[in-house]
Amino acid sequence: MKRILKQQIQMKSIKIFLLLLYPYLSNAQNIFEGIVLNKSTKVPIPYASIFLMKGKVGVNADENGLFKLEITNREVDDSLIVTCMGYAPFKFPVQDADKLWSASAKIELTELVHNLKEVVILNNNFTNIITLNEFDELPGRYYGSGNHIAQLAQHFVSPSQNAMIKDVKIARFSIPLLMPQKAIFRIRVYDVDPVTKQPANDLTDEIIEVKTKSKIVELNLEKYKIYIPKKDFFIAIEWLRIPYNATETKINGKTVTYYSPSIGWSKNQAPNMDIWQLGLNNVWGRFPPYLKANNLAIAVSLKY
């Protein structure tokens, strides 16, 4: 009888111990690391994005295509998506990650055959130049990417079809000499989906990458020959979740990581403002209206 009671007590103790231990087990972290390669050339793909579809976890590969992502046991029902401009997205369940789980895990992306819509250039001898959303005053508010946003896209409307992008100017948080905010990021140019009105196809197949500490970034894009087929288009900022861009801070006792650049909000009023955000799940959605008082401090000059 004593032996039975002792066994029952031991079993209860084990159950209690497991219940207490469960939160730690369920939050146990696995390190998924490897390299992202071009499937045909086997060349590493710099800064490819590796994100959880349902979660708020994501990283970018480094300049050599290497990445490391922490995944908890609670995320085993999620899926990973690996993306990069110019390549088809690659998705697979986290549960299948063990098939790739090793120090030399390789994820190979298939390069897209770019079918950028042909643009009929009615006149190559542009006679007009216009700057859209020009800003003179420096912004007082800035937006940096936290755990939710991969890209932020500002909508523009050209005065005519087949205009060509000349320059882009961006205001970002940086205090020269005192607090220069270093950043590596990418500029994306999209046309507009005629049905959803969200960013659609890339209008250039070349990567436009910026490395800067400047408060005002001015880029001449004429060499890329980016034409706007219709009047509507987007200029987007693509954040890179790499250590170079990371800043950690504590909020309510928790460590939160933010990534530069911090993009300014223009003081110009924009009644027809239209901003879209790309989530870590690779899905576009409108930027929450309650977060936007003015349009982004992104100006673009066009030749037409």
- How many CB atoms are closer than 10 A to CB 242? 17
- How many CB atoms are closer than 10 A to CB 239? 26
Enumerate residues 6+ apart whose C-beta is below 8 A from 28. Answer: 72, 73
Mean pLDDT calculated for residue range 205-210? 92
pTM here is 0.81
The CA radius of gyration of the chain, in Å to the nearest whole number, is: 24
pLDDT of 262-302, one tens digit each?
A: 998 887 766 666 889 998 888 899 887 655 555 889 999 99
Q: Is-cis flag, bond preceding 288, omega within 30? A: no
Q: Which two tokens stand for residue 66?
A: 């290497």
Range with the lowest mean pLDDT among 4-13, 68-77, 139-148, 262-271?
A: 4-13
Is 75's pLDDT higher than 80? Answer: no
- How many CB atoms are closer than 10 A to CB 74? 13
Q: Is-cis flag, bond preceding 89, omega within 30? A: no
Q: How confident is the model at residue 226 (pLDDT cuts 50, 70, 90)?
A: very high
Mean pLDDT calculated for residue range 67-77? 75
Q: Which residue has the higher pLDDT, 174 or 18?
A: 174
Whole-number pLDDT of residue 11:
45
